[in-house]
Amino acid sequence: MQKSTIGKILLLSATMIWGLAFVMVQYALDGGWSTFALLSARGFLGALLFSAISFSQKWWKNKKLVLSSLGAGFILFVSYVCQTYGQYYSSVSNAAFITVLYVVLVPVFGSFIHHTKIKRRVYLSVILAVVGTFILNYQGEFRLYTGDILLLGCATLFAVHILIMDRMQVYDSVAVTAIQLWVMGICGFIGMLLMGEWYASQAVLPVFFCAFMASGVAFFFQAYAQKSVDSSTTSLILTLEAVFGVLSSVLILHEAVTANMLIGGGMLLFAVIYVQLG
């Protein structure tokens, strides 16, 4: 089997895990876990696993790898803070749909970085995404709730993170994943202490799923797959995260399916797919 095929399978697996993770996060939040406690546990547990795997490589001697991964890890941590708080104040389906907007933002930011002209397709996708977000949040009147603003911030930071990870393909995927998870764990722990919080004793299994599968295995799948799959194909496959997230929320959490969700969410998905087809 070709490396590119394996990469695509790994990316598809990652999107399924992340889609289900939206539900697991909701279970954890409902079980008394705070955002910082959840991220701390996700980071530490995942970091221990990947550090054990990559220990023999002595990655800590590579200063460029460590410094790059520390920066990427902090951006990833802030992204997850926005996503978790955003989901808490919004809904699982909104979190899934809005988060995936990073696919639209990646080519926009990339154009600024590389000083290239933004294509018309990108402009149209941004307009579709804005209209889709409007419909998704329209309930008699348009109001962008705090949770949705945080989710938009998450999508923005995810786009920045992907661009950074694109430049880190020369480094070992396991080591990069381990360092970023340590950053998440430590920053989450500091935030938890500053907020006067602690780890909850309930909903432990969802937290383990988020730690080992969503923050660990799926993130490693993405980092490894990006070495053999081009960025456009990667982004297209990652849009399925929203589909799996919404399906999970409807099938497991019995979240109501509304016309706004179908039309607005459908426009968001079309926007992220359309921007990649070019």
Using alpha carbons, select from 101, 209, 224 the residue that is nearest to residue 154: 101
Using alpha carbons, select from 226, 274, 222, 265 the residue that is nearest to residue 243: 265
> How high is the pLDDT of residue 238?
81
Intra-chain end-to-end CA distance of the chain, in Å: 27
Q: What is the pTM of this model?
A: 0.86
> How high is the pLDDT of residue 24?
96
Largest CA distance in the chain: 59
> How high is the pLDDT of residue 42?
93
Beta pairing partners, 138: 142
DSSP for 13-47?
HHHHHHHHHHHHHHHHHHTT--HHHHHHHHHHHHH
> How high is the pLDDT of residue 27?
95
Instruction: Give the structural domain span for 136.
Output: 3-277
Q: Residues with Cβ < 8 Å from 251, sequence gap 6 or more?
A: none
Q: For the chain, how many residues are written?
A: 278
Query: Residue 229: helix, strand or coil by DSSP?
Result: coil
C-alpha to C-alpha distance for 247 and 244, rounded to whole angstroms: 5
Total domain count, the chain: 1
Tell me the mean pLDDT per 10 residues along the chain, length 278.
86 92 94 96 92 82 92 96 94 87 84 80 82 76 81 94 85 88 96 95 94 86 82 76 88 89 85 74
